[in-house]
Structure 1
Amino acid sequence: MPHVVIKMIEGRSEEQKRRTAELVTQAIMDGIGCKESSVSVAIEDLPAAEWVSAVYRPEIEPQMDRLYKKPGYKPE
């Protein structure tokens, strides 16, 4: 029962979000061999000005050792 939360800077269209959820769902199904009905995907939009304080510092930075895909940037 994978549940994925995608946090991103606001500004993407609903079509882009739907497509992203479809692609993520397919990748999970392919990667771990589960059914589509087992996957859920949420998307949270954040203002760019809040990214570092709301996502990077509390969720990315302290968990670098658990990230299978690390970001290619470091905020200042």
Structure 2
Amino acid sequence: MPHVTIKTYPISEEEKVNLTQEIVKAIIRTTGKPEEFVSISITDVQESDWMETVYDKEIKPELDNLYKKPGY
């Protein structure tokens, strides 16, 4: 607890590591759970595929459940 799944336009390995570190810090600070309880996956999605593979299938059907909605 928790597992975070991130889908993003392609970013570098260094950016993935930095993003992971920042999210882990926020989770620990917010939940009080130790780092060992946190897992994070990051999947690159090409910009040309975003709307069809991520927005239409994962974001749009869950808009009412999103705590942060996209602005596009």
Instruction: Establish whether TM, by shorter chain, passes 0.5.
Output: yes
In structure 2, how many angstroms separate the alpha carbons of the residues matched to 1:31 and 1:48?
31
Flag structure 2 segments of 5+ consecutive residues without an equivalent: none
In structure 2, how many angstroms separate the alpha carbons of the residues matched to 1:19 and 1:67?
24
In structure 2, how many angstroms separate the alpha carbons of the residues matched to 1:53 and 1:33?
36
Higher relative contact order (CA 8 A, sep 6+): 2
In structure 1, how many angstroms separate the alpha carbons of the residues matched to 2:43 and 2:7?
5
Deviation of 1:41 (Å): 0.6
Deviation of 1:62 (Å): 0.9
Flag structure 1 segments of 5+ consecutive residues without an equivalent: none
Matches within 5 A, 1:1-76: 1-10=1-10, 12-73=11-72
What is the one-letter code of the residue matched to 1:4? V
Deviation of 1:17 (Å): 0.5
Q: TM-score, normalised by structure 1?
A: 0.90
Deviations 1:24-69 (A, max 9, x none): 1111111111110000011000111110010000100111110011
Aligned pairs, number: 72
Name the Cα RMSD after superposition: 0.7
